Amino acid sequence: MDSTEQIKALEWVEGKLKLLDQRKLPEREEYGFFDSAEEVADAIRTMQVRGAPAIGIAAAYAVVLAARQQYECSSENWKEAIEADLKLLSESRPTAVNLFWALEVMGEEIAQIDGNPYRQLLDKALEIHNDDIQANKAMGEFGAAYLQSEEGLMTHCNAGALATGGYGTALGVVRSAVKKGIKTVYASETRPWMQGARLTVWELYKDDISATLITDSAASWLMKQGKIHWVIVGADRIAANGDVANKIGTYSLAVLAKYHGVKVMVVAPMSTVDWDCPNGEMIPIEERDQSELLNPIYDGKVSAWNPSFDVTPAELIDLIVTERGVVERPDNKAMQTLR
């Protein structure tokens, strides 16, 4: 069984969206069933479903739920009524552009519909989901082609089956690379949500891929030992000049990689590329609540800063791998080859 069968972060089941509650992993594999756009927006906000492509796919299914509900209320005015649902979904998280991309694609579909929207919108959402899996498999092969079997890989956060429609972006490359004989894979814990420790290592363990977990702060020392040749990460938004927003800590890894002669590969589908965003400075960076870092005993006397993402400048990135092709040494001009 491959990971797209084994690990399903989201699935459309009997007219509802079934989500694996990622906050409970690895201790418990618990699923919830979602019936409205409001519930899905809450699941995105509270990180039950997370990871840029998975957020986009969840939003697409949420539009199906919203359309069904609004059409049942009024077959005349459902298109006006659904605007509030689209707005609610668009406000669930700010950084991953796949959310806005999926809402736009579904919005274009809505504009063409006459009559009951359910079947047409569901087909579109299923297509978005399936296309993402196919893109991941293609990127897995493209990225793995750059790797040699004796090389060591390191990944950050979770960019696997859980964060996508299936197979994964960065972890898709890792999966394809392991099939080709790569044996050394490190994952960083990824504070504060611990996506590396709780999700990435769990996925790899389920796939029988042996990975070594490190604290975020051990990365430089590991690179110093010469154990890492590639840092391979996903992305939440890629600007037109190749700057990449990804999980907080990605920028530090890219700076460290430069110093130690380690290469950086970013793996993301075209739905993560934001052509309207000229550079990384324009990417909205989510700041999450300080309570995620602080012990309640400080009771307002100590503050914390909790950005969820950072931006790695294109000049620190060696490769951007998409399903449309690979951009080497990204910049404005090189990115145009993906257009």
* Binding site residues, ligand MRU, CB under 6 A: 50-53, 96, 157, 159, 163-164, 169, 195, 234-236, 246-247, 308
Q: How far is the CB of 271 from ligand MRU (least distance, A)?
A: 11
Identify which of residues 241 and 246 has a Cβ nearer to ligand MRU in the complex.
246
Identify which of residues 122 and 256 has a Cβ nearer to ligand MRU in the complex.
256
Q: How far is the CB of 119 from ligand MRU (least distance, A)?
A: 29
With b meaning 16 or more CB within 10 Å and e meaning fewer, what string describes 68-102? Answer: bbbbeeeeeebeebbeebbebbeebbbbbbbbbbb
Lookup: tokens for 295: 């012990």
Q: How far is the CB of 154 from ligand MRU (least distance, A)?
A: 13
Whole-number Å distance between alpha carbons of 124 and 104: 12
Identify each DSSP E strand in 216-300 by its residue range.
230-233, 237-239, 244-247, 263-267, 273-274
Residue 277's identity, in one-letter code, is C
Lookup: tokens for 275: 């052509």
- The strand pairing partners of 273, in sequence order, are 238
Q: In what order do the strands lie in the sheet with 237-239?
A: 273-274, 237-239, 244-247, 309-312
Identify which of residues 152 and 172 has a Cβ nearer to ligand MRU in the complex.
172
Q: How far is the CB of 167 from ligand MRU (least distance, A)?
A: 10
Whole-number Å distance between alpha carbons of 51 and 294: 24
Identify which of residues 36 and 306 has a Cβ nearer to ligand MRU in the complex.
306
Active-site hit among 132, 236, 274, 318: 236
Q: How far is the CB of 169 from ligand MRU (least distance, A)?
A: 4
Identify which of residues 70 and 98 has a Cβ nearer to ligand MRU in the complex.
98
Residue 310's identity, in one-letter code, is D
Instruction: Say whether 236 is catalytic.
Output: yes
Dihedral over alpha carbons 63, 288, 199, 218 (to 10 degrees): 150
Identify each DSSP E strand in the chain by its residue range.
10-13, 16-20, 31-34, 152-155, 184-188, 212-214, 230-233, 237-239, 244-247, 263-267, 273-274, 309-312, 319-322, 325-328
Identify each DSSP E strand in 179-294 by its residue range.
184-188, 212-214, 230-233, 237-239, 244-247, 263-267, 273-274
Identify which of residues 70 and 92 has a Cβ nearer to ligand MRU in the complex.
92
Which residue is closest to ligand MRU by CB? Answer: 234
Q: How far is the CB of 157 from ligand MRU (least distance, A)?
A: 4
**Nearby residues of 270 by Cβ (< 8 Å), 6 or more positions away:** 135, 322, 323, 324, 338
Identify which of residues 192 and 325 has a Cβ nearer to ligand MRU in the complex.
192
Q: How far is the CB of 236 from ligand MRU (least distance, A)?
A: 5
Active-site residue set: 236
